[in-house]
Amino acid sequence: MSREQRQSWQEIRDRIHGRILSGDFRPGDKLPRDADLAEALGCARSTVQRAMQDLSDSGFVERRRKGGSRVRPDPVTRATLDIPVARKEVESRGSTYGYRLISREVGPPPHAVQAAFGATFSQAMLRVQALHLADARPFILEDRWIVPETVPEALELDVSEVNVNEWLVKHKPYDKLDMRFYAEQAGAERADILGVDPGAALLMIERTTWIDGAPITTVRSSTAPGYQLVSQS
């Protein structure tokens, strides 16, 4: 087996990345053509293309059609965040997962929800408020709005038993995601549900998803004190 056949795109990516870190390829430098890199590194051109795309996705290089590739003058380290599944988060901590429905209703979305989608809606939406538990203690409180026009089957779900967070991740893929993180003081109602003192600082996570330009869901999650969201780049 030849060396060209043995090298993976990850190995090639790491070799190019190493040359960027060492200063061999400096910020702003135009990189050799993919074909020239493939010849120099002893691999297939398609392997270089896959490696370069990953470096581009990671914020180290810029790739432009007919403009070649350059090392970014201000490299950006990007982290990948997947939509967390509460059950898996709880079980990964060695705890027992629990779920409790707080409310289910169908009605007009408030302005804040419409703003999250960046559009005005005349149709009613499904609102589900639910509490995820870890060892019978509050873990995450979700306030979720689902667009029936995009996810009509959601109206038939028994949300007293079905974890909508997990169901959507499994059954409704998305191609666009907006996510926000911020701190907020707990009001009396949320404090009571989460078992914290009113005014306690909570980590808030807002997520909104779309598929082919159509809105799927927006959710506002209040996390219990001590919650940690881990990402790797």
Q: Averaged over 17-38, what is the pLDDT?
A: 90
Q: Which H, E and C letters describe the chain, residue by residue?
A: CCHHHHCCHHHHHHHHHHHHHHCCCCCCCECCCHHHHHHHHCCCHHHHHHHHHHHHHCCCEEEECCCEEEECCCCCCCCECCCCCHHHHHHHCCCCEEEEEEEEEEECCCHHHHHHHCCCCCCCEEEEEEEEEECCEEEEEEEEEECCCCCHHHHHCCCCCCCHHHHHHHHCCCCEEEEEEEEEECCHHHHHHHCCCCCCEEEEEEEEEEECCEEEEEEEEEECCCCCCCCEC
Q: What fold does the segment set 86-223 form as a domain?
A: Chorismate lyase (3.40.1410)
Q: Averaged over 142-156, what is the pLDDT?
A: 96
User: What is the per-residue pLDDT across 74-96, written as a single tens digit (0 to 9) for each?
Assistant: 766 555 566 678 999 999 889 99
pLDDT at residue 166 tops 60:
yes
| Of the candidates 140, 115, 113, the residue with the CA atom closest to the CA atom of residue 127 | 113
pLDDT band at 133 (very low <50, low <70, confident <90, very high): very high
Claim: this prediction has a pTM higher than 0.75: no
Tokens of 1: 């087996």
Would you state the pLDDT for residue 2?
44
Q: Where are the domains of the chain?
A: 3-71, 86-223
List CB contacts of 226: < 8 A, sequence separation 6 or more. Answer: none
Q: What fold does the segment set 3-71 form as a domain?
A: Arc Repressor Mutant, subunit A (1.10.10)
| Of the candidates 37, 30, 53, the residue with the CA atom closest to the CA atom of residue 4 | 37
pLDDT band at 231 (very low <50, low <70, confident <90, very high): low
Q: Averaged over 111-133, what is the pLDDT?
A: 92
Would you state the pLDDT for residue 169?
86
Fold equal for 3-71 and 86-223: no
